Chain A
Amino acid sequence: MSPAENVGSEASTDRTPVTDCDVCVIGAGPAGALVASRLAEAGHEVVVLDAGPRFDPSDRLARQERAIRPFYDRPAVWDGDPERDAHSNDGERFYPLNHARVKGIGGSTLHWQGMVMRLHEADFNSQSERGIGVDWPINYEDLRPYYAAAERELGVAGGDNPFAPPRETPRPMPEFQPSYSDSLFAEACDELGIAMHSVPNARNSESYDGRSGCVGYGTCQPVCPSGAKYDATVHIERAEEAGATVIDRAVVGRLAHDAESITAAEYATPDGEYRQEAEGFVIAAGGVETPRLLLLSESEQYPDGLANSSGTVGKFFMDHLFAGTGGLLDEPTRQGHIGFLTSESHQFYDEADAEVGPFKLEFFNYAGPSPVESALTGDDWGDDLLERLRGEYGTHIGMGALVESIPGEDSSIGLDRDETDAHGNPVPEVHWTVDDRALRTIERANEIQERILNELGAEITWQVGPEDTGPAYHHMGTTRMGEDPTESVVDADCRTHDLDNCWIASSSVFPTGGAMNPTLTIAALALRCAESVDAALRGE
């Protein structure tokens, strides 16, 4: 263990390429880690390249200290590097990209909240069922067994949900019990006929897979010191145990290729520049860096970028939107003991149509300021500080909602050729837009939140609505999946239409995003993708 300023020592590591590599995976987040572990366990020679560092597990408490101390912003908790992670924004709404991702072994699961829902059946058929967006080339039944496998791999705790799609077995762990404030919400929701149910968490409610149960640090987002919250280092370790080579601080700047396939990933490290050759390549670098890498790999053969004969690489960038309402009660609400959610409601989710999208309601367990964080920010101390903290804490109550957004192709990730990163590559240019249906959906979510809080007798003191909504940090849609090569980048197996030996494992393949946190779907697709890669390598 070490204090906040002591982290980040760099061990010397061999970052040279591996000979006779079967599969090169780019990105060590959940998708890349799952693909790598599955393929390594199947006997393939696997190399994983990630732009960020390998974090020392013994530094988790120091990172928690960073999360609490006001000096450190969110990117600093996981050693965000503004030069490495440079980007530009030119959309109608600012997108805080470096608050929305972690680069390093484990990827953004290092700072995620850990909610893992399956998409609903209609989410796969948005055009057919709701009259908006596009249909996926696969449906819920196609992904259902992979969802179950993903729940076992990540370790999911959860209970019954009357609105969820059909499932075969209970989740691997029992749900976390409802909070005290859930019981306050329950009385109001009962009066209004709104059903509450448990939240599926990729967080151990008991010991699972060699990791401890949650011990209640309360800093889940952005860091879990106990390891009870799943992060992708779990599957990176599993991949390495099966023989995979994982190279950190390896920034892939280009995919060398011929007309039909990728031949090598060209990457820069602190020690020099290298080429990793392989039979197959899996790009698992998230919804921003994945299209950026394809665009950076332009050539005479592919002047618009790799795998981009459809012209849709980088297009249809989408994120879920947040809607929230909160206030004060005249009684204690017992907030902030844990950093995760225990209750939500999907009751209104499948009412979605072309006018109003799907959304889910969340009941907060951490409304209002954290006393310890607040203690570090004022100009008071002693009795005055304690009096302030007592005044701030105790009666806050709040609700959130996650809302689907289906923007057009003008919402995009491109290249900013006027600005380059530390390696001389054009930085990603984020052009994020929000569609009117999503804004109407936020209004609808706000209305229900107000009804519940009014029934509770709360004084409403804040609301996040259509004007000031923000992203949920789920990057989706920039290399969409589809049957038609002229309108999509990858097929139903996540294999690019244009290149035989290139797959994409990422939320970037989502044609639509629903309103569920995406990581379980990312994991399910990654497991399905791994089967496709394995079959191809075996010549099947």
Chain B
Amino acid sequence: MELSRRDAVAALGALGAGTATAGCLQGSPDGDGDDGGEEAAVRETLVAAAEVLYPSAVDGIDEFVGTFLAGRLDDGPHAAGVRDAVDALETRAEAWYDGNVAALSAEDRDSLLRETGAGAADPDPDGTPAERIRYYIVNELLLALYSSPTGGELVGIENPQGHAGGLDSYQRGPTA
């Protein structure tokens, strides 16, 4: 199932976006100088994480995550938390797997995320590295997916909680 830009915009509509204008973070680091490089690196890590966190049935992760992040990463505390969590994850990737997250195989990325403790950790924006990775990376990305129309449809609900999907779907039967 293809994740679209519309899904990313919908996810931003469900969650509080940052002050940045919703657009699409560029994938290459040569777009906006140093800041652009840093943002691109954050995006690269999160896209790589999403490829493990999201089910294999979804496509279009790169554009979806990029568009979503463009609306979330600003100068506020949330964006700072995302960047710090990405740093923590990358530090562990280098220490434990001799490479950055995006360079690891999907299997190693899955192992890395589990070995940080993020799988079992309770999410906490001010907590341990495991709790912050859970909050700012794992739950950030899962929240974006499953509050979007395509993410909801994967489960069987085209208007998931958080999405302003209107008043028709709740009246429809399963075969409509």
Which A residues contact B (CB, under 8 angstroms)?
A: 1-7, 59, 61-62, 64-65, 68-71, 176-180, 183, 213-219, 225-226, 331-332, 334, 336-339, 342, 365, 370-373, 375-376, 379-383, 385-386, 389-390, 393-394
Name the contact of B15 in the complex, choosing from A65, A71, A334, A382 (C-beta under 8 A).
A65
Q: Which of B52, B72, B159, B164 contacts A226 (CB 8 A)?
A: B164
Given contact pairs A216-B167, A371-B155, A385-B53, a sample of 8 additional A-B residue pairs in the complex whose CB atoms are under 8 Å apart: A3-B79, A4-B78, A216-B169, A225-B164, A337-B165, A338-B159, A372-B162, A381-B119
Give the number of residues in B that approach A within 8 Å (Cβ atoms): 57
Select the stretch in B25-33, B40-48, B89-97, B139-147 that faces chain A: B139-147
Shortest distance between the CB of A356 and any CB in chain B (Å): 33
Which parts of B122-169 form the interface with A (CB within 8 Å)? 122-125, 135, 138-139, 142-143, 145-147, 151-152, 154-167, 169
Task: Contact check, A2 vs B16: say whether CB atoms are below 8 A apart.
Answer: yes
Give 9 pairs: A residue, B residue, CB < 8 Å, sorted on A: A1-B16, A7-B16, A216-B169, A332-B156, A371-B146, A382-B54, A382-B110, A386-B55, A390-B154
Q: Contact check, A386 vs B173: say whether CB atoms are below 8 A apart.
A: no
Nearest 10 Cβ contacts at the A-B interface: A62-B16, A337-B170, A3-B78, A332-B174, A386-B55, A372-B146, A215-B164, A218-B161, A379-B119, A61-B16
With contact pairs A3-B72, A59-B16, A337-B170 given, residues A373 and B161 touching in the complex (Cβ less than 8 Å): yes
Q: Which residues of A contact B36 (CB under 8 A)?
A: none
B112 within 8 A of A: no
Q: Which residue of B lies closest to A215 (CB)?
A: B164
Which residues of the partner chain A approach B170 to less than 8 Å between Cβ atoms? 179-180, 216, 334, 337-338, 342, 365
Residues of B contacting A179 in the complex (Cβ-Cβ under 8 angstroms):
170-171
Is B16's CB under 8 angstroms from A71's CB? no
Residues of A close to B160: CB separation below 8 A: 218, 336, 370-372
Q: Is the interface of A mostly helix, strand, loop or mixed?
A: loop
Tell whether, in the assembled complex, residue A70 and residue B123 are in contact, meaning their CB atoms are under 8 Å apart. yes
A95→B146 CA distance, assembly (Å): 34
Contact A216 B164 (CB under 8 A): yes
Say whether A64 contacts B14, CB under 8 Å: yes
Query: Assuming the A-B contacts A176-B167, A381-B53, are A372 and B143 also in contact, with contact meaning beta carbons closer than 8 angstroms in the complex?
Result: yes
Whether B19 sits at the interface, judged by CB under 8 Å, is yes
Q: Give Cα distance in the complex from A243 to B139, angstroms.
A: 45
Q: Are B161 and A219 in contact (CB under 8 A)?
A: yes
Q: Are B52 and A381 in touch, CB under 8 angstroms?
A: yes
Q: How far is the CA of A375 from the CA of B79 in the complex (A)?
A: 22
- CB-CB contacts of B33-69 with A at 8 A, as 1s and 0s? 0000000000000000000111111000000000000
What residues on B are CB-neighbors of A180 within 8 Å? 170-174
Contact across chains for A393 and B154 when beta carbons are under 8 A apart: no
* Contact partner, B156, options A61, A342, A393, Cβ 8 Å: A393
